[in-house]
Amino acid sequence: MKIYTRKGDTGTTGLLYGGRVGKDSALIAAGGAVDEAQAALGVVRAAVERGSEVDLLLINLERDLYVLMAELATAPANRPKLQAGTSLVTTDMVSALERQIDALTGRFPPLSDFVIPGHDSVSAALDVARTVVRRAEREAVATAVDGSLVVPYLNRLSDLVWTMARWQEQGESLLSRAAAGSDGARGAGAS
């Protein structure tokens, strides 16, 4: 099978379960933004240890985004053909994000100031991914149909990615303080 079909040369693209729309349609714009969000999460995943808690969480999020993209790539008339959790975002998927946010939030102290991105490369990449997810959410609003959970999922996902960035920063800063404290103690003893 060749990667190119030439069907898109006319400025249209095929939808799941049939039909074609312009590549500039709201469905395709939203799906493209979700595709970018998935790639941005992949950049974060490439920077973390394989098999780590963050790696496994990111893999699950990236898989969820395939479900979300399938839903976005389906014409409203074909929505009944979608399968919950495979090509249709479910309440359980949204709830799972909320549980993860709550679990991570309890692992670092509450923030008292605005966040300036760039504490370290992983938290910065997470902040970039969060902004891409937010754009995907804005794009998806134009495609929302009754009963769809795409927008709530993306809303919670951006909250989770923000939380992950703060968790990363807190872990790094705690490690840095511990290292600085032990170095400082050695330095004081040496004088």
Provide the token pair at 2.
């060749």
Q: Characterise 110 by phi-psi region: left (phi > 0), alpha (psi -120 to 50), beta (else).
A: beta
Query: What pLDDT does 191 receive?
Result: 30
Weakest-pLDDT range from 43-52, 85-94, 179-188: 179-188
Regarding predicted confidence, which is higher, 37 or 116? 37
What does the alpha-carbon distance between residue 27 and residue 189 come to, in Å, rounded to a whole number? 65
Weakest-pLDDT range from 33-47, 110-124, 133-147: 110-124
Each domain of the chain, given as residue ranges in start order, spans 8-108+116-181
In sequence order, what are the residues at sequence separation of 6 or more whose Cβ sits closer than 8 angstroms to the Cβ of residue 54?
A: 44, 45, 48, 122, 164, 168
Q: 41-62 burial, b if ≥16 CB within 10 A, otherwise e?
A: beebbeebeeeeebeebbeebb
The alpha carbon torsion through 31, 46, 175, 170 (nearest 10 deg) reads 0
Alpha helices in the chain (DSSP H): 26-47, 53-72, 91-105, 121-141, 150-190
Residue-wise pLDDT for 68-91, tens only, equals: 999 999 998 999 999 999 999 999
Architecture of domain 8-108+116-181: Up-down Bundle (1.20)
Report DSSP state, residue 28: H
pLDDT at 150 over 80: yes
In sequence order, what are the residues at sequence separation of 6 or more whose Cβ sits closer than 8 angstroms to the Cβ of residue 13?
A: 7, 20, 21, 22, 23, 28
